[in-house]
Chains A and B, each alone.
Chain A
Amino acid sequence: MIAYQSIGTALGMALFAWLMQTGLSGVDRKITARIQKRRGPVWYQNFRDVFKLLNKRSVTHGWIFDLGLLIALAGAIGTAMFMPMAGIIPLQGYDNFFMITYLAALGVFGRALSAGASGNPLAAIGVMRGLTQNIGYKLPYMVLVIVLINYYKTSSISGIAALQQVQGWSVLKMPLGVLVAFISLHGMLGKKPFDTYLAPSEVASGPMVEFGGKYLGLLNIAHEIAVFVEISLFVNLFLGGGATLAEFLLKYMAVYLLSSCLGAVMGRLRVEQVVRFYYKVPIGLTILQVLLFTLLYGGVS
């Protein structure tokens, strides 16, 4: 039986995920502004935004529009509840990689459902672009993780992180793979040059075009938690997790801010360019990496 305490820890993890990532994305805004020679908002501006949005009246396009959004947030919260962080493992024994990926995908699907239900074709186009990109970055990412699971003989995220503490980080074993995983992560975070699905000037922010008021607020919360899950996965799987919470958070911030800085200085690719890029470079590098890994480490029982 799962103890109540574990559920408490899990809920705490989801809350912490939101608080930390919302704060960090405020810092991200500040840094981006400074790179672009602006002053930028205060670091806690995103908290203000969310509370302001949640208190605003808005319009709805029907019950599916609402339901999709709830699924999106529930998927994000549910996923964060399983995420291990340094020594803190909320639901010990069940932090399975495939489970977390598919539960996170349910959140993404909920978001897509809500956007589709808005009736705005721009939203549908945005979702199509997002899902097309999704094939591009998830495929190499998941193949690399499957290679890791095969190597470490566990699909538990905390297990993989713990083994890296002993055997050295995965980044040392598959440098090319980590590069690919980082490119994928950059895409998952929707940072430039891979933000074609948001593209305010072409598809009016795509999936988000119809969201305002509390809908945008909830979407924001779901987005920040999803970002937490994506970066934590990267840190846990490729950068050895953390022996202490401080180490984990340091790696987390480094990865996130690196992605932010890169995003701040890049332009946007067109959707075809994104797709072609992903199907050439990351997938090619992944094949090379899997071959190298198999040669060097056997990788097979």
Chain B
Amino acid sequence: MNWLSLIVSLFLTGIAGYFIARIKPSLGAWIAMAASCAALLLVLLGGDALPGGPAWGLIRFEVTPLGWFFSLLIILVFSTNGIGSLAAKGRQHREPVYTMLYLFALAASLGVFAAENWLALFIFWEIAVWSSTFAIGLGNGRKGSVSYFGMSLLGSLMMLFAILAMGSAYQTFQIREALTAALQNPGPALMVFILMLGSSMVKLGIMPFHIWMPPAYTEAPDEFAPALAGGLSKLGAFTAFLVSAYLPISGFMGGSWRVKGLPALSYGLVLLASASIVFGTLMAIRQEDAKKLLAYSSAANGGYIIIGILMGTSMSVSGALVHLLAHALATTTAFSVLAVIVRQTGTSRMDALGGLAHRMPLTFLAFLTAILSLVGLPPMLGFVSKWLILQSLASQGLFLPAAAVVFGSIGSMLYAFRILSTVFLGQLKPRHRALRESSPGVLLSLAILSGATMGLGVYPSGLIQYTAKIEASLGMSETVQTAGLSIRGINGNLNALLIMGAFLIGMVIAGVIFFKAPRSRKVDLMDTYTAGEFIYSPELYHYGTQFAAPFERIYEKLPSISRVYAALASLTDDLGNLVKYLFFSPMPSRTALWISVVTILLIWGEVL
């Protein structure tokens, strides 16, 4: 088995899935699940030694440790989401197309991660963009797919321009060769770097390119949102890693002045990513819709990844890789859980929910692990990545980005608690009393995802060693170090197992006191202290709307970037109208005027 045949068979299964699902719609989800699980098995067993396969014109594959890591991540997201989507009902009419697009998106992403040259990478990148655009369009609403496509187009154009610039300047499209050539002959290097990183930032949803995320995540089909948020948006990080590893800013702008040891350009971009963290967190806090909240939180989390990549130290790059995985696992879990909730209740508005943990306890536990990982608390994987990133920020003395990261971490407590408290805790609405626990398929996929989040959070050594391997393969002189069970930091060590041990000891002590004390009486949720008020209706006895109002009031007037885009759109519209008014008018006199102007110009050109 090689990479080419893996991708081709995924594409073929997608096409076959289309026809089979047309005959029997319920088989579509099974085919998507089986194909992605088979791919997971192959990639896991083959490891990063899997051969790329024969060249097929421009399309040549080469499996690198970085590509393998990303492939594993995306297949994990797609296969667990595939298992979880088996129970999804009520999409019979779109099942054939959905199955095909799902597998196309997966196959194309695998193509991106193992492409040997930029053109192949771009072709697969585009297939992934187009498949996901149409897949988002299968949901409810058009705004999501339109804004996704619009922003992706911007990203793709940036990337294409950079690729062509490299091709014409260095006569090569080979990824490593082209970037290394740019480093040695830094003519268009700056432009290539900016454009490439720009296209990554679009995909990762870094401010000011984040505007596609909230509508796309909200309107995408519920079973596609996890794959989009957890998997496909990570495509951007892949090119960011490639570009900053082989074409580091310090390489082509080494002589320029530096801020705290970083080239000024890197520092500026790090500040942009920091702004994305702060802005994403602030926006997430004030959302009323759970999916939008997670979308803005993704914009914030993209910031950590970009900061880690741009700092370029062994710890920060490892932190970025781990954060990528942690965020992928956590968002996939969170969106899968929301899919279950939307299927059962028909809404993802947080104030319309509440108390669901009492109806679906296992789903709640999975959601809790995801949320803890998003906030970055031990013993979850998100903690390990934040620790690595904060360590490198502190040792480099990048105080402003460090403040943004800290703000993002503490601010995420507020929105994370908000989503937990308003959706799963608090009062259960009477109309939700009949809700049931998620189906076994969903629970299995949630168990795999949360198991990975927690397992890797407690025992990250293997993962860290693999990130060290990736760093070595990218040609970094220093790699992140582990010693036994602990990760060696620049100014401190981390032993995740020890933390878990201390926590468990605490848990045992707390448990002994708790169970030794007299048993308590279980009371109804409405049986609470009300300060003398009489309460009758659980709907009204739930604190969910405008959750952090006192905090939100401080930044009510936060300028919105979408207004800039709207202004740009209306400007384009006006310009189009002007052109239409001048050249495409139904009035014969105006047409005659232009004919005479053109004739005069022609004669002028010929005669004079």
Contacts and interface: CB of A to CB of B under 8 A. Distances in A.
Given A73-B509, A117-B357, A139-B403, A272 B411 contact: no
A215 B417 contact: no
Interface string A59-101: 1111110100111011111100110000000010110111100
A134 interface: yes
Contacts of A276: 554
Interface string B405-433: 01100110110011011000111000000
A73 B547 CA distance: 26
Contacts of B378: 99, 102-103, 106
Contacts of A94: 486, 493-495, 498
A154 B395 CA distance: 8
Contacts of B215: none
B510 A73 contact: yes
B520 interface: yes
Given A98-B390, A116-B417, A218-B514, A75 B503 contact: yes
Contact of B520 (A11, A78, A121, A213): A213
Contacts of A249: none
A102 B386 contact: yes
A64 B357 contact: yes
Interface residues of A, number: 90
B505 interface: yes
Interface stretch (B62-70, B86-94, B98-106, B525-533): B525-533
Contacts of B527: 59
Interface string A207-218: 001100111011
A147 B511 CA distance: 39
Interface string B510-523: 11011001111111
A272 B554 CA distance: 9
Interface residues of B, number: 82
A112 B395 CA distance: 32
Nearest to A62: B358
A74 B399 CA distance: 32
Contacts of B134: none
Given A78-B499, A142-B406, A57 B528 contact: no
B494 A96 contact: yes
B407 A116 contact: no
A77 B526 CA distance: 32
B210 to A, nearest CB: 21
Interface-central residue, A146, A213, A214, A290, by most chain B CB under 10 Å = A146
Contacts of A217: 517
A153 to B, nearest CB: 6
Contacts of B410: 134-135, 138-139, 142
B528 A112 contact: no
A22 interface: no
B503 A121 contact: no
B505 A300 contact: no
Nearest to B523: A59
Contact of B531 (A73, A77, A122): A122
28 contacts: A11-B505, A59-B520, A59-B521, A61-B522, A61-B528, A63-B361, A74-B510, A77-B505, A81-B505, A93-B493, A96-B387, A99-B494, A102-B383, A103-B499, A118-B528, A119-B541, A121-B426, A128-B414, A132-B414, A135-B410, A135-B414, A143-B406, A146-B399, A153-B491, A204-B531, A214-B514, A271-B550, A275-B550
Given A119-B528, A275-B550, 11 more contacts: A75-B506, A105-B377, A119-B541, A121-B427, A127-B417, A138-B406, A142-B406, A150-B395, A213-B520, A214-B520, A218-B513
Interface of B: 260-261, 355, 357-358, 361, 364, 368, 372, 375-378, 383, 386-387, 390-391, 393-397, 399, 402-403, 406-407, 410-411, 413-414, 417-418, 420-421, 425-427, 486, 489, 491-495, 498-499, 502-507, 509-511, 513-514, 517-523, 525-531, 541-543, 547-548, 550-551, 553-554
